Structure 1
Amino acid sequence: MAPTGSGALLSRRNIKLDSFLKRNTERRVYERIRACEPCVVISEAVNKVYMHAVLSDECVYLTEYPPRTLTVAVTFRRVRDIELVKDLPDFLSGKDRERCQHIRITYVTEQPAAGGRDWLRRDRRAGLPPAAPSSRRISHCPAIPHNLEGYPAHGEQITEEIHVLKSTRSASCPNPETLGLPRVPHPPSQPPSLYSAASSPTSPLSPSDHRLNWRTEPGQVPRRIGSVLSRLLRRDCVDSREQREAELHLYVVSQTSRLYLHLQSSWNSFIIKSTLLLDPLYMRRCSTASDSSPGKQLPAISLERTAHLFGQLSSELLQDGISVESLYLLLQELKTAAHRNAALRRVFWRSSEVCAFLVQTLEESLHGCQSLSGAYTADQLLLSTLIVQTLAVMFRETEVEPARLSLLSAKKGALASRMLLALICDPEPQTQNQESLVNDCETLLAEYLDAACSLLFELLLLGHEASRCASADNFLCVGWILRVLQPHPHLLSFIGHQAQQVVQVFSDPQDSVLSPPQSVLLFQRCRLLLACLQYNSQLTQHLQAHFREEFRYFVKLPCAEEKLPAHYPISQPTLRLVEQILTLILHR
């Protein structure tokens, strides 16, 4: 977090903790730490211990107070739910009890319950060093009520699981090879970002790429029987590994803490990326687009070098009289670079000119320069789709960048309002004379609408953060976003199109499962529809009036389970969204 230049964030961090993390983690890990918060931890292995929670892109670490070791508490690949519990902890008193935020993380573990040691356990694939016993107790914490216990009685088990970092250069600087993120097979420690120039969830692949080949070959199990057997096999596989649910409780004694928001955002990003990485075509295209040969890793580009290169690209984008072709190629370059470089996404928000230029270009391309017939042209749709995809990339994993919020909330959200209104368009293509042009534009318009849904999803995530934030300065909440969109003449038809696409997924007579990119897009559409149903009465009435019967007869949870494979990380969160949508849209 230090390299982001987040003054507000650094002021909340313990100086000793920041120094410890900087010395004892690799640079790539340190730069992707999103938040650090002191909290009281309760789990199956520790009871009311005051520690620091350290949040990265892939997992939650815990470290003592003050820090001595860095331990993986839970990886996002095992998380099933993250929720904010409204209760008053009995081990706190006075104002601390009232201000406390209780975060419950539910995850799965493959270890039986009897041992009670699944939390803070060593994942043997993580490559962490063996534990070294430590007799040091957490005795110099800030003032905490006396009934908070230290480590539980079976302390020898705890010390066996907490990984004391072996030193190689000094007592405070461990071997960097043992301190990266856990090395887990799915996903890799540094997976490609959500979007790329080669492939993105907002640009659907052809149906032949997406769907599994269900043609029954000799000796093959018919598809309906096969789907039943696959469910039984998955259940047996889960049972054989003795998977069960466990909980990690974090009690943050602060009403202004954003740890819960960062956890939700990090988890969302993780399940999206890890789901996309299950798609062979997506992985192949990412590998093809890679500049490094197998086994050879290019050195990381410094933040200063990244800012310099972005400045050069910006000057080319903003030059007067740039042609549409040059603009398209430069935007492809920007999107691809941002896809691979998280630092570039942070730098983007620190320069208001490029973001404002993209919004203005989208306004002119999609709404200001339509053909005489009133229809979109192919060039307009291609450029507009690329702009929207580029903006969506810039939102990924930049929640802790203060420049993003500052830019979007400046002048009472003027730029954010323009972005919202610019991305909404009429989903019905206008009739043209040539049938081939109509078909081409319908396909391109569908791709644009997918991209617009993904960008609106990112903006709604920003709104959800503001909705839970007590700061009066952060007004960009979900309700505000939908109020800005409400006067748009095509809002109802745009939201109706997104709802129809959800219905179409489940009403497809074929028994095909969704591909990873299709699953991600379904997840984003469901988040959009749920926000409409929860925060806007006009949109709720529209969806209930026009889609209640379609959702009643076509959108079924058993069907959703068939469409969403159990091994997709995004499947369970999507099923929960579908269940919530059904409850709200069928409610009278």
Structure 2
Amino acid sequence: MARTGSGTGSGTLLCRRNIKLDSFLKRNTERAVYERIRTYEPCVVISETINKVYMHVVLSDERVYLTEYPPRALTIAFSFRRVRDIELVNDLPDFLSGKDRELCQHIRITYLTEKPAAKGRDWLRRDKREGLPPAAPPSRRNSHSPTIIRTSEGYPAHRVQGEGGTEEVHMLPPTRSASWPNPESLGLLKVPHPPARPPSKPPSLYSLSSSPSISPSPSDQRLNIGESAQVPRRMGSVLSRLLRRDGGSSREERQAELHLYAVSRTSRLYLHLQSSWNSYIIRSTLSLDPLYRRRCSVLSDSTPDKRLPSISLERTAHLFGQLSAELLQEEISVESLYLLLQELRTAAHRNVALRRLFWRSSEVCVFLVQTLEESLHGCQSLSGGYTADQLLLSTLIVQTLAVMFRETEVEAARHILLSAKKGALASRMLLALICDPELQTENQGSLADCELQALLADYLDAACSLLFEMLLLGQEASRCSPAENCVSIGWILRVIQPHPHLLDFLSYQAQHVVLVLSDLQESCLSPAQCVLLFQRCRLLLACLQYNSQLAQHLRSHFREEFRYSVKLSCAEEKLPLQYPISQPTLRLVEQILTLHRKLHTNTRALTSEKGL
């Protein structure tokens, strides 16, 4: 699990380690679950049946958990596959005072649940005279006037949000060890599995799939306790009664809300939630693409005897060190470099621990940036254009860098490396990935020219994905003061603004958004196309929101297209509902159209004033 380092600079961006909670999670969750936990924070939790309870929110790559304060049991709050929206609410909670009240972040998560809406009262409450708290109202100030409920021991009461609804989980009795939580609350206890079949050959980085990106782990399969997990029948167990009570009823999905009040002055919970959600919807959408599944192929967990062996962090580090040494050797051939990068990219897709090691070993990242600079800009052909080898290698480098950003935002080494020396390496990476989207060839329309055009298009797609990852990094940094971090969204756009090919690069990305969202292209989008559209929309929205000159360029060159050609109804037809990324993409398109209309109206008003 990624944690902050001891440096002062990274502490404002990343979570501070809670030794007691971290020890609890490590002891009572399987390794595959623990290694994918990103961060945790204390929050006041409000939902349909949780009324102002101080709890720890534990964030992983696929789920959000809640645990008591101090921790005794871990329960699923929701899965990112059910999330429909995560937003900040502008209000001032009355249960806080002073600066805490002013700085508190109110996060509202809207998600789907199969649990019926709460009725007249919470049947779990000890005081039957106390009714249910009202459902959280829309964004407004002074929306709640609660007091934090605490037990006679001084700990908060424990009502926990499950994926299907909200349930109360009692504290463990004093005679039970806190390191052994109630197995009925989640089923995360370590359970022995059949030993994996030993590998037929020594493991390489291709076998680093202990944390697969697509197939769920056995522990994840057990997390769905309402469907398949076997829980002991224990008298007095509230959760067991709930499971038996709801197990036979057919339920329809409805929207529910979970409200988190982050009380830490340096809270990054909202940003981590957004980043985790983005990662999940991208990963789960791409997993519907056969080509992506082949690239990240892992065997099904239903056949544990055929699974690739789980490799320890020490072994992963050793294998990564071997590959790094081969990459960094002098006078390496282009063919060997390409094959090694393919191995690195494939392993990084499968293993999040490898991605964290990548940032801790700065030499490989610096080497990739330098190689990209030389390949794409420093070694042009005699005709001044690109060669196939240059584009193939550059695309692989950019794809590898983009993968390394996924799910590593809480890695302190990444923040330290990219922000060192006023963002020197980040600046080089940004300037290296921008290129001229037009081919400079003498044989227009030839077969070789068409092949180069296809390779260049692949590179431009990959470059947009990496720039998207950099903008996510900047989104986190934008909430810090300039003294704490320089790699903000505004800084990123200012760095690339002087690039001679930026406007052409940006126009290329905008043209493809217009093409996809207009009537010119009628077919539905593939999973990879949907992800790329999402990333391009985030890029355009950032330009419109954070850089006036780039916004003016988009307004002046695409005014008619965004006014008449780009239609939200057309986007709804082309984005399949079964893709997790479709709804977030539609919201981005709506934001772009609204902002474009607003900027167009403001421009006309200013022009009229000047005319008068």
TM above 0.5, yes or no, is yes
Once residues 581 and 165 of structure 2 are traced to their aligned partners in structure 1, the CA distance between those partners, rounded to angstroms, is: 32
CA deviation profile, 1:171-221 (whole Å, cap 9, x unmatched): 73366992189xxxxxxx965269xxxxxxxxxxxxxxxxxxxxxxxxxxx
Match of 1:124 in 2: none
Of 450, 454, 462, the residue aligned with 1:439 is 450
Using the TM superposition, give the Cα deviation of residue 159 of structure 1 relative to its aligned residue in structure 2, in angstroms.
9.3
Q: How does 1:415-494 map to 2 (within 5 A)?
A: 415-433=425-443, 435-470=446-481, 472-494=483-505
Match of 1:340 in 2: 350
Match of 2:606 in 1: none
Of 537, 541, 546, the residue aligned with 1:530 is 541
Using the TM superposition, give the Cα deviation of residue 291 of structure 1 relative to its aligned residue in structure 2, in angstroms.
11
Once residues 489 and 141 of structure 1 are traced to their aligned partners in structure 2, the CA distance between those partners, rounded to angstroms, is: 62
Match of 1:259 in 2: 269
Once residues 259 and 90 of structure 2 are traced to their aligned partners in structure 1, the CA distance between those partners, rounded to angstroms, is: 13
Once residues 120 and 73 of structure 2 are traced to their aligned partners in structure 1, the CA distance between those partners, rounded to angstroms, is: 21
AA matched with 1:431: T
1:85 aligns with 2:92: no
C-alpha change, 1:95 and 1:467, in structure 2 (3 Å) is same
C-alpha change, 1:460 and 1:3, in structure 2 (3 Å) is closer
Once residues 301 and 18 of structure 2 are traced to their aligned partners in structure 1, the CA distance between those partners, rounded to angstroms, is: 37
The DSSP-based 3-state class of the residue aligned with 1:60 is: strand
1:192 aligns with 2:213: yes
Check the 8 A contact 2:380/2:386 in 1, yes or no.
Answer: yes
Using the TM superposition, give the Cα deviation of residue 418 of structure 1 relative to its aligned residue in structure 2, in angstroms.
0.5
Match of 2:585 in 1: 574
C-alpha change, 1:375 and 1:283, in structure 2 (3 Å) is same
1:179 aligns with 2:188: yes
Match of 2:247 in 1: none
CA deviation profile, 1:57-91 (whole Å, cap 9, x unmatched): 11111111111111111111111111122211012
C-alpha change, 1:20 and 1:252, in structure 2 (3 Å) is same
1:69 aligns with 2:73: yes
Determine what percentage of the aligned residue pairs are the same residue.
77
1:282 aligns with 2:292: yes
Using the TM superposition, give the Cα deviation of residue 279 of structure 1 relative to its aligned residue in structure 2, in angstroms.
2.5
C-alpha change, 1:356 and 1:472, in structure 2 (3 Å) is same
Using the TM superposition, give the Cα deviation of residue 244 of structure 1 relative to its aligned residue in structure 2, in angstroms.
2.5
Check the 8 A contact 1:503/1:554 in 2, yes or no.
Answer: yes
Match of 2:324 in 1: 314
CA deviation profile, 1:244-303 (whole Å, cap 9, x unmatched): 22111111112211111111110100111111122344335543x659994433332222
C-alpha change, 1:321 and 1:82, in structure 2 (3 Å) is same
AA matched with 2:454: T
Q: How does 1:210-229 map to 2 (within 5 A)?
A: none
Using the TM superposition, give the Cα deviation of residue 94 of structure 1 relative to its aligned residue in structure 2, in angstroms.
2.0
The DSSP-based 3-state class of the residue aligned with 1:251 is: strand
1:500 aligns with 2:521: no
Match of 1:20 in 2: 24
Using the TM superposition, give the Cα deviation of residue 501 of structure 1 relative to its aligned residue in structure 2, in angstroms.
0.5
Match of 1:199 in 2: none
AA matched with 1:103: I
Match of 1:540 in 2: 551
The DSSP-based 3-state class of the residue aligned with 2:524 is: coil
Once residues 425 and 275 of structure 1 are traced to their aligned partners in structure 2, the CA distance between those partners, rounded to angstroms, is: 28
CA RMSD of aligned residues (A): 3.1
Once residues 502 and 313 of structure 1 are traced to their aligned partners in structure 2, the CA distance between those partners, rounded to angstroms, is: 38
The DSSP-based 3-state class of the residue aligned with 2:430 is: helix
Using the TM superposition, give the Cα deviation of residue 470 of structure 1 relative to its aligned residue in structure 2, in angstroms.
4.2
Using the TM superposition, give the Cα deviation of residue 381 of structure 1 relative to its aligned residue in structure 2, in angstroms.
0.3
1:111 aligns with 2:120: no
1:403 aligns with 2:407: no
Using the TM superposition, give the Cα deviation of residue 428 of structure 1 relative to its aligned residue in structure 2, in angstroms.
0.7
Q: How does 1:288-327 map to 2 (within 5 A)?
A: 294-295=303-304, 296-327=306-337
The DSSP-based 3-state class of the residue aligned with 1:301 is: coil
Structure 1 stretch displaced more, 397-406 or 427-436:
427-436
AA matched with 1:92: L
TM-score of the superposition, structure 1-length normalised? 0.80
Match of 1:218 in 2: none
C-alpha change, 1:158 and 1:365, in structure 2 (3 Å) is closer
The DSSP-based 3-state class of the residue aligned with 1:50 is: strand
C-alpha change, 1:47 and 1:559, in structure 2 (3 Å) is same
Structure 1 stretch displaced more, 377-386 or 335-344:
335-344
Once residues 594 and 15 of structure 2 are traced to their aligned partners in structure 1, the CA distance between those partners, rounded to angstroms, is: 43
Once residues 152 and 459 of structure 2 are traced to their aligned partners in structure 1, the CA distance between those partners, rounded to angstroms, is: 57
The DSSP-based 3-state class of the residue aligned with 1:299 is: coil
C-alpha change, 1:159 and 1:113, in structure 2 (3 Å) is closer
Match of 1:215 in 2: none
C-alpha change, 1:158 and 1:485, in structure 2 (3 Å) is closer
Q: What are the ranges of 5 or more consecutive residues in structure 2 without an aligned counterpart?
A: 125-148, 191-209, 216-249, 601-612
The DSSP-based 3-state class of the residue aligned with 2:258 is: strand
Using the TM superposition, give the Cα deviation of residue 336 of structure 1 relative to its aligned residue in structure 2, in angstroms.
1.0
The DSSP-based 3-state class of the residue aligned with 1:411 is: helix
Check the 8 A contact 1:110/1:244 in 2, yes or no.
Answer: yes
Check the 8 A contact 2:213/2:283 in 1, yes or no.
Answer: yes
Q: What are the ranges of 5 or more consecutive residues in structure 1 without an aligned counterpart?
A: 121-135, 143-148, 182-188, 195-239
Match of 1:184 in 2: none
Of 59, 62, 79, the residue aligned with 2:63 is 59
Once residues 364 and 160 of structure 1 are traced to their aligned partners in structure 2, the CA distance between those partners, rounded to angstroms, is: 58
The DSSP-based 3-state class of the residue aligned with 2:540 is: helix
Check the 8 A contact 1:48/1:150 in 2, yes or no.
Answer: no
Once residues 54 and 448 of structure 1 are traced to their aligned partners in structure 2, the CA distance between those partners, rounded to angstroms, is: 37
Count residues with an aligned counterpart. 507
C-alpha change, 1:282 and 1:352, in structure 2 (3 Å) is closer
Match of 2:240 in 1: none
Using the TM superposition, give the Cα deviation of residue 109 of structure 1 relative to its aligned residue in structure 2, in angstroms.
1.9
C-alpha change, 1:518 and 1:141, in structure 2 (3 Å) is farther
C-alpha change, 1:369 and 1:165, in structure 2 (3 Å) is farther
Once residues 361 and 2 of structure 1 are traced to their aligned partners in structure 2, the CA distance between those partners, rounded to angstroms, is: 28
C-alpha change, 1:138 and 1:360, in structure 2 (3 Å) is farther
The DSSP-based 3-state class of the residue aligned with 1:507 is: coil
Check the 8 A contact 1:506/1:555 in 2, yes or no.
Answer: yes
Check the 8 A contact 2:360/2:414 in 1, yes or no.
Answer: yes
Once residues 456 and 375 of structure 2 are traced to their aligned partners in structure 1, the CA distance between those partners, rounded to angstroms, is: 13
1:520 aligns with 2:527: no
The DSSP-based 3-state class of the residue aligned with 1:178 is: coil
C-alpha change, 1:357 and 1:507, in structure 2 (3 Å) is same
C-alpha change, 1:40 and 1:4, in structure 2 (3 Å) is closer
The DSSP-based 3-state class of the residue aligned with 1:89 is: coil
Match of 1:213 in 2: none
Of 42, 47, 50, the residue aligned with 1:43 is 47
Once residues 116 and 494 of structure 1 are traced to their aligned partners in structure 2, the CA distance between those partners, rounded to angstroms, is: 58
Once residues 3 and 406 of structure 2 are traced to their aligned partners in structure 1, the CA distance between those partners, rounded to angstroms, is: 17
